Amino acid sequence: MTPQTWDAELYDARHSFVTGYGAALLDLLDAAPGERVLDAGCGTGEHVAQLAAAGVDAVGVDASPAMVRRAAARFPGIRVSVADLRDLPFREEFDAVLSNAVLHWVPEAGRAAACLYSTLRPGGRLVAEFGGAGNVSAIDTAARALRAGHGLPEAASPWYFPTVAGYARVLEDAGFEVRAAWLFDRPTRLTGADGLAVWVRMFAPHLLAGVGDPDTFLAELGERLRATLYRDGSWWADYRRLRVVAVRPPR
Ligand code: BEZ
């Protein structure tokens, strides 16, 4: 996984939709008080705090020390620590794993799925959502065409956006039973006139690699995308989500 450096305060200030949209995932998780739940990729801690407030025995891990520091500062008392989803230190400890908007950063999907499986007790469930096939393709395609026009090399992608069938296979190969999977469009509003530029800087810095003047590049990108992604006075990222529910079979 390409290490991603996060500005955790900017993430909260401009991209709180990441956790906001996770509310539907919490409903799907339907954690009961006393259940042990791991938030795999907890970001700045919102879901761990919400689960803990509901009496759930919640623990969060995130690969970014900046995110974990901010989570601990925002919600004193919650249990969060730094850990990589490809190498989790838990064995059969959790009733459920929740993961929101993280697994698209882990191209070693089989390794992450095997780790999540080991983390769950037999009978435990995984409820996850992340970018699915076709996610942000308008932004990605336009930025790549613009790079080519500027004579820049192909940018290696750090993202993993699988199809339903592809990810079901990954989960089944890890031992999970897939109970449900959905792939759906979820246009996502990027706040502010500079919303698209701020999003690219935070989530797609690889598309700016080697660009001499990022401000000009981003302005040109905005012109190319305005007709498709700007409406009702806002930028809308063309998000597509893959949501899955899977169970580690009981012994
Ligand atoms: C997403 O949440 O879909 C996403 C996040 C970062 C980069 C690309 C997509």
Beta carbon of 15 within 6 Å of any ligand 1 atom: no
Calculate ∠ Cα 11-157-203, nearest 5°.
10
User: How far does the centroid of ligand 1 lie from the alpha carbon of residue 221, in Å?
Assistant: 18
* pLDDT above 70 for 1: no
pLDDT for 78-129, tens place per residue? 999 999 999 999 999 999 999 999 999 999 999 999 999 999 999 999 999 9
User: 135 in ligand 1 pocket by Cβ < 6 Å?
Assistant: yes
The mean pLDDT value for 156-179 works out to 98
The residue contributing the CA closest to ligand 1 atom 5 is: 203
* Residue located nearest, by CA, to atom 1 of ligand 1: 131
> Which residue from 2, 137, 159, 201 has its CB within 8 A of the most atoms of ligand 1, so it is best to mutate?
159
Query: Rounded to an integer, what distance in angstroms lies between the CA atom of residue 136 and that of residue 133?
Result: 9
How far, in Å, CA of 183 to CA of 131, rounded? Answer: 9
Of all residues in the chain, the percent with pLDDT exceeding 90 is: 91
